[in-house]
Copies of this chain bind each other. A is one copy, B any other.
Amino acid sequence: MPIDPDAAIRITAFDWVPDFARGQVRDLRVRWALEEAGRPYAVRYLSQGAHKAAPHRARQPFGQVPTYEEGDLTLFESGAIVLHIAGTCDALLPPDLAGRARAVEWVFAALNTVEPPIMDHAVATLFEADQPWSRPRLPAIEARIDERLGELAARLGGDDWLDGDFTAGDLLMVAVLRILSDTALLGPYPHLQAYVARGEARPAFRRALADHLAGFTGAPPAGFAEWESELEVEPALQGELR
């Protein structure tokens, strides 16, 4: 689905982020959902700092990307946006009420149970890598991640997706797990690695990623350390500190 400047849907994304965040800022999740749904969209690109200025704060009180605008509706929080898109198409939720509830369950499991220790890892290895407390915390963080991965792998087993056909829950779980792609943490779980690869091989994901990456046409700010932590970001973890 090509990006269409005249589309009824408009999202926000950054025109520049550090290398480690490319392929991870959460507009990618929304783009992927829109591609799965077959919905054209336009992109409002923000330069550094613009996400904290009044016009964007009116869209997003916490000054993050992405946002979603369609007519009178403005939404933020990528999880909520993906669910909203899922509710307007057949591609991301099963038709029955129980199946839909279980897909939503996996959305929350991805964002609230699996992602938090992974974000802790990102904080300790990237955003606060230079802080004296980060390295000592890593073993405990990695143990928490490994426990969650083991539990998820046990539930997934040899299935293709978490609960029948691909759903918004898989979309977000794959988006969360691929944060670990540059680490060794997925190594013990070949079924999870295959699951991530299966998600990333979907044509909708590949289009979304290509467009996400092509959008970084801006220049770095004079000093980006200050706003760096304000992306609604999932940093790719570039190697282990340990």
Chain A residues at the B interface, C-beta cutoff of 8 Å = 61-64, 72-73, 75-81, 83-84, 87, 97-98, 101-102, 104-105, 107-109, 111-113, 116, 119-120, 128, 131-134, 136-137, 140, 148, 151-152, 154-155, 232
**Cα–Cα distance between A152 and B101 once the two chains are bound (Å):** 28
| In-complex Cβ contact of A98 among B61, B72, B80, B102 (8 A) | B72
Does A151 lie within 8 Å of B61, measured CB to CB?
yes
Does A101 lie within 8 Å of B84, measured CB to CB?
yes
Does B136 lie within 8 Å of A77, measured CB to CB?
no
Does B75 lie within 8 Å of A101, measured CB to CB?
yes
| In-complex Cβ contact of A77 among B76, B109, B120, B134 (8 A) | B109
Does B136 lie within 8 Å of A108, measured CB to CB?
no
**Cα–Cα distance between A97 and B76 once the two chains are bound (Å):** 15
Q: Which residues of B contact A62 (CB under 8 A)?
A: 109, 113, 148, 151-152
Copies of this chain, whole number: 2
Does B61 lie within 8 Å of A112, measured CB to CB?
no
Q: Which residues of B contact A73 (CB under 8 A)?
A: 98, 101-102
Does A111 lie within 8 Å of B111, measured CB to CB?
yes
Interface SS of chain A: helix
Given A76-B105, A133-B133, also A111-B112 (CB < 8 A): yes
- 17 inter-chain pairs at a CB distance below 8 angstroms, sorted by A residue, are A61-B154, A62-B151, A75-B101, A76-B105, A77-B105, A77-B112, A80-B101, A80-B109, A81-B105, A84-B104, A113-B232, A116-B116, A128-B140, A131-B140, A132-B133, A133-B136, A133-B137
**Cα–Cα distance between A76 and B112 once the two chains are bound (Å):** 12
Taking the closest CB of chain B, its distance from the CB of A46, in whole angstroms, is 17
**Cα–Cα distance between A154 and B63 once the two chains are bound (Å):** 12
Q: Which residues of B contact A84 (CB under 8 A)?
A: 101, 104
Does A132 lie within 8 Å of B136, measured CB to CB?
yes
CB nearest neighbor in B for A137: B133
Given A136-B132, A136-B133, also A108-B77 (CB < 8 A): yes
Q: Which residues of B contact A87 (CB under 8 A)?
A: 97, 101
CB nearest neighbor in B for A61: B155
Q: Which residues of B contact A102 (CB under 8 A)?
A: 73, 75
Does B80 lie within 8 Å of A108, measured CB to CB?
yes
5 smallest CB-CB distances across A and B, nearest first, come from A133-B133, A77-B108, A61-B155, A80-B105, A79-B108
